[in-house]
Amino acid sequence: MGQDALQFGKNLANNQSIQFMVADMASEIEALRSLVYRTAWLVDNGRPFTKEAGMCKLLGSEIASRCIDRALQIHGALGFTRDGWVERGWRDSRINEIFEGTNEIQRIVIASELFQEIGVRIRP
């Protein structure tokens, strides 16, 4: 979306629903960034990080999908054209939920680590 993106002759940035979507995207991305930095800190300091790495993979893929869905909504039909970056982002975001361990597997890893922290053993 460029600085002068217009819809019905009005700047898209002046549309409150667009503002809400952009604010939600920025908030989710910033929360994920904090989790990534915390996970990197754990790695750098030789601490266990399996749970946090799983959370980064899970949230990262889901936030990417939500953000690109919002971008498609903002761009409308132009978001689906093969010439634009939004359509490519949509295809790329979907694969992130599948490779490097599906999101369901990441949830199992996270839950196992959480239960292990409180001394509950999960049967394999």
Question: So which residues are the catalytic ones?
Answer: 100
Sign of the dihedral defined by the CA atoms of residues 58, 62, 65, 67, in that order: negative
Nearest by Cα to 30 from 72, 63, 4, 54: 63
Which residues are paired to 96 by β-bridges? Answer: none
Its sign, for the CA torsion 116, 118, 119, 123, is negative
* Three-class DSSP category at 11: strand
Q: What are the CA-CA distances from residue 124 to residues 5, 50, 108, 112, 114 (Å)?
A: 53, 17, 11, 10, 15
Q: Which residues face 91 on adjacent strands?
A: none
